[in-house]
């Protein structure tokens, strides 16, 4: 690894199901997209200022098998810092990676290195862990907004997703 570039190249190769790669197939012009029945719900969290590793669940309700997911979740005010993510039992064969961005957002990627799929169903998919800033305003709830989620099916095609936003209340 030289200056972290080798690690990034390996991750990009493994993530061939997201926009990062040209391996993802977009629907052809004029062809109707299949109905996916895919709902991603960002959960809620609550903690006082200065708290560490507070989990917020992300729930997936899907009618098609899912190969992978990438989403960016932003907290208004930038009072939360993503410290990591953990797959749920439903995604036990998957790896979850996160990256805190400078603008109050965090990118979360869920993928299987073995090619496993998330079966049709509903329930918790992963939890995102947050630290709450010491100067976060008490008695205020912060929106957790998902920006441009990408979900792929077993054929590396995008699935249309509806996202329910979450919130984090600072006690």
Residue 133 maps to a domain: yes
CA atoms of 167 and 53, how far apart (whole Å): 16
Residue whose entry in the numeric block shows the structure tokens 């990009």? 12
Backbone phi, psi, residue 113, to 5°: -80, -15
pLDDT of residue 124: 97
Residue 52 maps to a domain: yes
pLDDT in tens, 10-52: 333 334 433 332 233 333 333 333 345 899 999 999 999 999 9
Sign of torsion, CA 74 92 47 52?
A: negative
pLDDT in tens, 61-97: 999 999 999 999 999 899 999 999 999 999 999 999 9
**Beta bridge partners of residue 146, listed in sequence order:** 73
pLDDT in tens, 20-30: 322 333 333 33
The secondary structure of residue 26, as a DSSP letter, is P
pTM: 0.79
Q: What share of the chain is helix, strand, coil (3-state, %, to 5)?
A: 10, 50, 45
Structural domains in the chain (count) = 1
Residue 6 maps to a domain: no
Residue 111 maps to a domain: yes
pLDDT in tens, 119-132: 999 999 999 999 99
Residue 67 maps to a domain: yes
Q: For the residues of 101-149, what is the DSSP string, one character each?
A: -TTSEEEEEEE-TT---BPSEEEEEEEEEEEEPTTPPSSEEEEEEEEEE
Residue 33 maps to a domain: no
Residue 118 maps to a domain: yes
pLDDT of residue 24: 33
CA atoms of 36 and 130, how far apart (whole Å): 30
Question: Hey, what are 17's tokens?
Answer: 């199901």
pLDDT of residue 162: 95
Section 48-58 average pLDDT: 98
Residue 28 maps to a domain: no
* Residue range(s) defining the domain that contains residue 159: 40-170
CATH code: domain of residue 78: 2.60.40.680
pLDDT of residue 37: 83
Element (H, E) at 170: strand 166-170
Average pLDDT for the chain: 84
């Amino acid at each position: 690894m030289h200056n972290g570039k080798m690690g990034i190249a390996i991750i990009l190769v493994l993530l061939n199901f997201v926009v990062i790669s040209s391996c993802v197939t977009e629907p052809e012009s004029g062809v109707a997209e299949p109905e996916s029945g895919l709902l991603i719900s960002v959960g809620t969290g609550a903690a006082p200022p200065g708290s560490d590793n507070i989990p917020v669940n992300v729930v997936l309700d899907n009618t098609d098998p899912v190969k992978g997911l990438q989403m960016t979740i932003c907290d208004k005010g930038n009072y939360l810092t993503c410290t990591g993510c953990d797959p749920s039992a439903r995604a036990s064969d998957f790896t979850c990676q996160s990256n805190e961005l400078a603008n109050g957002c965090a990118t979360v990627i869920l993928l299987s290195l073995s090619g496993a799929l998330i079966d049709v169903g509903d329930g918790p998919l992963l939890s995102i862990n947050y630290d709450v800033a010491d100067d976060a305003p008490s008695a205020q709830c912060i929106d957790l907004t998902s920006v441009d989620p990408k979900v792929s099916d077993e054929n590396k095609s995008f699935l249309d997703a509806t996202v329910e936003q979450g919130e984090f209340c600072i006690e």
